[in-house]
Amino acid sequence: MARILIKFTKTNGAKFISHLDTTRTLHRAFRRAELPISYSKGFNPHASISVAAPLSLGLGSIAEYADVELDTEIEPEDIKNTLNKVLPMDIKIINVVSINVKMPASMAAVAFARYSISFETNINIELVDMIINKILSSNEIMKMKRSKSGEKLVNIRQFIIELYYEKLDNELLKFECTLKAGSNGSLGADTIAQLLKEYSEGEIFGHPYITREEIYASVNDKKIPLDRYFSRK
């Protein structure tokens, strides 16, 4: 048995493919490419493929990851090229890494995620500075957060690692944020987008354009992209 990590994009129309359908799309691509994906045992076998960090519907990404088991070893570059021939145009494999089968699941390694959030706005930059400073200087920002057990008030400030902005032109304002992710607590970029709108008191409005830029593991308090993390010797 061999194990690989694939890094792929979900852009344009693929943003509206659900987490479950993303897994199904990848599975079908492996079958069409005639790559020897492994299956679980039992009465209802399923393909051994797991997306590391589910992405909210409507969000784009240039750094999605999936953990896949194969029956035999194949060169990573061959897997990448073969899959890209059969995948939809808005899903593209950008890296394939061989993984030691004893390493943890990619889902378990996720610690942080970085996003870009863009708004069409003519807001004054001084006000943007004030909004960011207000968020980052707060010790507590209480919001309702949904979980499997229901909704509860949570201090989301603990999940915000970085937040800054980049003015692209007179009508598009782009924010960058790094948020905690994974089993130890996580926060979605859509919550940050709503927080920016709320703190702007109406100056930031409309639909945000959100893209996940990278997913990280944590080693010695350093953020490492998942493909680099799993390719370490």
The yes-or-no verdict on residue 68 having pLDDT over 90 is: yes
C-beta contacts of 185-191 below 8 A and 24+ residues apart? 185/158, 185/159, 186/113, 186/159, 187/156, 187/159, 187/160, 188/56, 189/59, 189/113, 189/115, 189/117, 190/56, 190/59, 191/143, 191/156
Per-residue confidence (pLDDT) for residue 215, from 0 to 100: 98
Q: Is residue 232 part of a domain?
A: no
Per cent of the chain over pLDDT 90 is 79
Where is 194: in which H helix or E strand?
helix 189-199
Q: Is the same domain home to 7 and 102?
A: yes
pLDDT one-digit tens code per residue, 115-126: 999 999 888 889
Q: What is the pTM of this model?
A: 0.94
Per-residue confidence (pLDDT) for residue 232, from 0 to 100: 75
Q: Is residue 174 part of a domain?
A: yes
- Establish how many alpha carbons lie within 13 A of residue 47's alpha carbon, considering only the half-sphere containing its beta carbon: 20
Q: Can you tell me the mean pLDDT for 171-200?
A: 93
The yes-or-no verdict on residue 209 having pLDDT over 70 is: yes
Per-residue confidence (pLDDT) for residue 233, from 0 to 100: 61
Q: Is the same domain home to 16 and 95?
A: yes
In the chain, how long is the greatest CA-to-CA distance? 62
Which residue range is the domain that position 200 belongs to? 110-227
Q: Is the same domain home to 90 and 151?
A: no
Domain of residue 170, CATH code:
3.30.70.3190
Residue 91: both structure tokens together = 């899903």
Q: Can you tell me the mean pLDDT for 194-198?
A: 95
The beta strand positions in the chain, using DSSP E, are: 2-10, 49-51, 60-70, 91-99, 112-120, 142-147, 150-155, 160-167, 172-180, 209-219, 222-225
